[in-house]
Structure 1
């Protein structure tokens, strides 16, 4: 259940709101809705880890966060600002309640702001490999990212990544997965089956940073948020991008939070051998 697979890049639309322009994808299914904020280098057209919600028959709304895709960086530049823009987007689309808001990686800050600022809309919060209440990223990663993924260099960086995925995919995957895991590169790479490697090749070949990742790096902590909703935190102890300590900080500070430790060998919890069981927990949580 809920296993991620390769899918074509999805069609998106643009809403012109009082808060600004927002790119979004709306996959309409049933009456229950889920709002997803993906992490860095992602945009609305790239689905990842959404299968569990589709299998529940949920309508899934995915906005591109500021600076990603066709959402200008000036639309709700901060997590709080974009949470308010997303509330307006929901109203624009006729969505007056979401069963869960989902925050992935750097998108977790916006999901938390959404839950705290709009409790009348959000019933539950799910945080996956999410940045928590600790500084992020570490100084070394911040420096490297500011060089490789700034608005001037990011196009060339991702073009080089796409070329590696076409011509030397094993080397490319080892390089990128190694950066996303605290395990030795060989161990992290060996944990990936053929289907997972194909998925990551597809995903890495389509990622872009735009002005979004630099904006993510400028965000500060989420202190002061009062989150009252039941919260499910899913993270791997082997995550090399967002350390497990972030997940621990989340469950320590959010009153109704439960931590689920993934066995995934990297930041990508959906690729862990135990993800079907985790997907079952997510399904029960959303449906509860």
Structure 2
């Protein structure tokens, strides 16, 4: 049986740091000397967890931040992609973190991870992108217009209260509605492929998501793919780009564009049914690839003088 993705049935404790550019909400779980920084995508915040088990099982410390507009991070804190990358670097210094084993960017959090790797090469050792937005227009016009209506000021709380109630009271209907925009496949096929524990994880996740002002903010700051392309070209650390061709939320072309723009990046194609690569049947093998990517190669043993 696959190891759980690490999403508890409740909110994880977070803190707020007051930094030079404003407040930032974060969750810091120290385990070992290697620290992974996670930037989640839309509707996620530091109090939620998804796919973190791969890092925790390797003994990595975790620093998860709420991007601008999500959780308790104001939309004004490092409002641009590059600005928030700099805020996160300052947060690392504030916490005494001198090296980041990997900056991890998920979905709409991908550009911030790219910016952090590009702008702070002495801090960030590796880059991992999962279903990440790349240097292409995103999202499509229909999604952009619809998102401003249902996640805009005055409607966001109503939208999520309705979705939370639906997922808890009629989980099949709620999952079908929410997963429908994440896959190019018939949503019934995606639902049928889920194991019972995976369904429980998704219900727990969807029943706690919120957008705050974050998702509408994302729509504004991620409108300049040329700027992201320039940042991607500046990345000099090893990079792993993971995505599925069946993703409807962030098309596979984004992963291809990231892998082409980042020098030496490796593209790993997931067989997942859609955007949520952690629920794919091949996730255990991808998780192993991530763990190997995070493990520094052993230095060759120098022969002793006696053997010379």
Structure 1 residue runs of 4 or more that deviate by more than 6 Å after TM superposition:
none
- Which of 204, 207, 211 lines up with 1:205 in the alignment? 207
Correspondence for 2:120 among 118, 121, 125: 118
Matched, 1:270 2:278: yes
Contact 2:36 2:101 in 1 (8 A): yes
Structure 2 unmatched ranges of 5 or more? 297-308
Asked if 1:257 is matched to 2:258, the reply is no
1:227 aligns with 2:235: yes
Aligned length: 288
1:134 to 110, 133, 136: 136
**Whole-angstrom distance in 2 between the partners of 1:130 and 1:216:** 13
Name the CA distance, whole Å, in 2 between partners of 1:152 and 1:96.
41
Return the alpha-carbon distance in structure 1 between the equivalents of residues 98 and 133 of structure 2: 27
TM-score after normalising by structure 2: 0.92
Output the CA distance in 1 between the equivalents of 2:283 and 2:277. 7
The CA deviation at 1:3 is 4.0
Larger radius of gyration: 2
Give the Cα separation in 1 of the matches to 2:267 and 2:114: 15
Match of 1:23, SS? strand
Cα-to-partner distance string for 1:143-178 (whole Å, 9 max, x where unaligned): 111111113211111101111111111011011111
Equivalent position of 1:240 in the other structure? 248
Contact 1:165 1:173 survives alignment (8 Å)? yes
2:167 — aligned with what? 165
1-side partners of 2:286 and 2:28: how far apart? Answer: 24
- Please give the secondary structure, in 1, of the residue aligned with 2:180: helix
Unaligned runs of 5+ in 1: none
For normalisation by structure 1, the TM-score amounts to 0.98
CA distance in 1, matches of 2:58, 2:168: 35
Q: Which residue of 2 aligns with 1:155?
A: 157
